Amino acid sequence: MTGVTVRAPAKINLQLAVGPLRDDGYHDLVTVFQAVSLYDEVTAAIVDGPGEDVVGVSGEGADSVPAGPDNLALRAATALAQVAGLSPDPGRHLEITIRKRIPVAAGLAGGSGDAAAALVACNELWAGGFGPPQLAEIAARVGSDVAFALLGGTAVGRGRGEQLTPALAPATQYHWVLAFADGHLSTPEVYATLDRQRARAREQVPAEPGLDPALMSALRSGDARLVGRALSNDLQPAALSLFPALRKTLAAGLELGALGALVSGSGPTCVFLAASADRALDLAASLSGAGVCRSVARASGPVPGAAIVSAAR
């Protein structure tokens, strides 16, 4: 096997409840993830010749993706090689190629998706033979959202977001419009802003954030209207204070008939739920014309997690 290509989906958070800051710098979460049909593609290949492992990135936001050892896909491959006990071959090296469609630092877990894709690709390339539970364990060490990018679908995340339980729900497809912002938000900065806002308001933060029963029952009913009403994100006020223009984006989408709107994860992407594929098309066109974001995309979910699309010898 010389090259394996895997695609990994973006995620959105239908609920994101954030607990207090932990001693390790993370926050306990309860989140409901959904994987949506916007994908990055990652190819892992073994290349003859000595040298360091390399990453090449093209597509949406490629310039702001680190190409060195900080790259999440490369970190995932390195973590897998360590667990597999593989030692570097002086005559060959790994080449990872990432084709991005998921914007970078957008609250859509694009980097985590690339890491998940690299794990699946390298597991195949090196005949690692690791199953989903072992890959999920390695994923959790690489980043909080990587395990979900492996799993896909709709799932409840706890802990840092890495402890996952698939959500039991009918096979409803939801139609989303994603409004990409002109700019980035740093996830640690958004969490730190939330902590400061809470301290200033002397807010009592429950030690264990709770799953929203209204959202879970809406998901079980498969009624997009109810799901739209139950969307929530504790990080949204922090994201809005760092990126005030997003208020206009959210308001525009709601005015244009979205069933619900929220900032995805730590932002700055805003997501809108539409009643049907046709409504999503209309909403995307109108939002795009309203000049309240950099660009828009449509995506449906839930979709499966990272999966092999081709393998070449």
Tokens of 100: 């991005």
Whichever of 27 and 100 has its CB closer to ligand C5P, that residue is: 27
- Decide: is 71 part of the binding site for ligand C5P (CB under 6 A): no
Which of residues 15, 34, 71, 187 is near ligand C5P by CB under 6 A?
Answer: 187
- Decide: is 144 part of the binding site for ligand C5P (CB under 6 A): yes
Name the CA radius of gyration of the chain, rounded: 19
Whichever of 102 and 287 has its CB closer to ligand C5P, that residue is: 102
- Decide: is 279 part of the binding site for ligand C5P (CB under 6 A): no
Whichever of 28 and 177 has its CB closer to ligand C5P, that residue is: 28
- Decide: is 26 part of the binding site for ligand C5P (CB under 6 A): yes
Q: Could you tell me the smallest distance in angstroms from the CB atom of residue 188 to ligand C5P?
A: 3
11 is catalytic: yes
The b-or-e profile of 65-101 (16+ CB within 10 A means b, else e) is: beeeeebbbbbbbbbbbeebeeeeeeeebbbbbbbbe
- Decide: is 145 part of the binding site for ligand C5P (CB under 6 A): yes
Instruction: Confirm if 268 and 230 have CB atoms less than 8 A apart.
Output: no
For the chain, what is the largest distance between any 2 Cα atoms, rounded to a whole number of angstroms?
Answer: 60
- Decide: is 207 part of the binding site for ligand C5P (CB under 6 A): no
Q: What is the DSSP string of 51-75?
A: S--EEEEEETTGGGS--STT-HHHH
- Decide: is 209 part of the binding site for ligand C5P (CB under 6 A): no
ω into 206 cis (within 30 of 0): no
Which of residues 39, 126, 191, 272 is near ligand C5P by CB under 6 A?
Answer: 191
Q: How many residues bind ligand C5P (CB under 6 A)?
A: 12
Which of residues 50, 69, 188, 257 is near ligand C5P by CB under 6 A?
Answer: 188
- Decide: is 161 part of the binding site for ligand C5P (CB under 6 A): yes
Q: Give 289's Cβ-side CA count (13 Å radius).
A: 7
- Decide: is 213 part of the binding site for ligand C5P (CB under 6 A): no
Other Cβ atoms less than 10 A from the Cβ of 266: the count is 27
Catalytic pick from 11, 53, 114, 234? 11
Q: How many helices (H) and strands (E) does the chain have?
A: 10, 12
Instruction: Confirm if 71 and 29 have CB atoms less than 8 A apart.
Output: no
Catalytic pick from 28, 40, 53, 145? 145
Residues that bind ligand C5P (CB under 6 A): 25-27, 29, 143-145, 160-161, 187-188, 191
Catalytic residue list: 11, 145
